[in-house]
Amino acid sequence: MLPFHDVVQDDFRAVNDLILKELHSDVDLVENIGHYLIEAGGKRLRPLLVLLSARACHYQGEHHITLATVIEFIHSATLLHDDVVDTSELRRGRLTANARWGNAPSVLVGDFLYSRAFQMMVSLGDMHVMRILADTTNRISEGEAQQLLNTGNSDVGEDNYLTVIDKKTAQLFEAASQCGAVVAGADTVTANALKAYGHNLGMAFQLVDDALDYTASSDTLGKNIGDDLAEGKPTLPLIRALHRGNPEQQALIRRVIKEGGKEEIDAVLQAIETTGAIDYTLEMARDYVARAQEALAVLTESNYKSALAELADFAVTRTA
C-alpha cells in the first residue's frame, strides 16, 4: 500500500472483502476473469478517493464501502472494454483478459461488472449518487468513442485531447470524490470542492500517464511502452511535438499517427525530447495538481485531508 492508503486501511480491507463477495457468479467464466482482473492489483485510487473524501467530511457510516466498490467495478469494466478496443496485450505487468480469454468473454464480463455496479448502487437508495454515476458512465463512453474517432488523426489539437481525457479519465475521479462527500451528507460547497479536486486530479493523472508512455520502462509501467504510438493515438506529447517540431519532425509525427506502429519510435522519441513535449505535458499536469490542492482548502484539517493532498502530489511524481 502507498502511504495515503494507511489512514483508511480498515476501510480498504472492507472494500477488498466486498469486491470478492460481489464478484460471485454462477458462471465460472465471469468469476475467473473478474478475479483475474481484480487480483492484478493496481493503485485502486478511485475507490480510495471515495473513502478519503467521505472520511474527510466526517462520515461514520458504511455506505462509502459499497460506493468505493461500485467505483472500482465501473473502472474495471472500462479497463476490460478499453483493452478490447485498443487490442492491448499487457496491463499491470501481465496479459490482459482479452489476450488470455479473447475479446468476447472480456466484453461480456465488463458488462457484468457494469451491471453489478448498478445493482449495488441501487442498494444505497441515494438518487443523487445514482444520477452522478449514471451521468459519469455515459460521459466515459462518449470519451472512449471520441478517442476512437481521433485515432489516426494528426489534426487533433490540445482542446480536443483535453476533452477526451476529461471524459474518459477525469470524470470517474471527479465522481468518486464528489460521491464520497454526498454520501457523507456534506454541504454543496464542500461536495463541489471535492468534485473539483477529483476532476483536476484525474486530468493530472492522465497527462502523466500519457507522458509515461514515452518515458517509462515496460517493467515499471506494467504495459508495453509506446502503445499509444502503436495505436495512432494523438496524445499531448505527440500533439506538442507536432506543434513545435521542425518540418521533418512534423512530417514524421503526422505519418506515425496516421499509420500507427512502433517502427519509427526512436525518431519519435527524439522529436518529443528535442521539442520539450514531455516537460510541457508534465508542467500542465502540475498546474492541474495545484488546482486540486487549492480545492481542498474548504476541508477542516485532518489526516484524511492530508492524505488527499499527498495523493495529488503522487499524481505527478509517480513513475508508473
Packing angle, helices 103-124 and 28-39, rounded to 10? 80
**From the CA atom positions of the chain, what is the Rg in Å?**
19
| Average pLDDT per block of 10 residues along the chain, 320 residues long | 87 94 91 83 89 98 97 93 79 80 89 94 95 96 94 96 97 98 98 98 97 77 73 95 97 94 91 97 98 98 97 91
pLDDT at 38: 78
CB of 171 closer than 8 Å to CB of 147: no
pLDDT at 281: 98
CB of 235 closer than 8 Å to CB of 161: yes
Domains (ranges, CATH) in the chain?
Answer: 3-317 (1.10.600.10)
CB of 232 closer than 8 Å to CB of 260: yes
Residue 33 half-sphere exposure toward CB, CA atoms < 13 A: 27
CB of 237 closer than 8 Å to CB of 206: no
pLDDT at 221: 55
Distance CA 25, CA 15 (A): 18
| Cell numbers representing residue 170 in the block | 477525469
Question: Which residues have CB under 8 Å from 25's CB, separation 6+?
Answer: 31, 34, 112
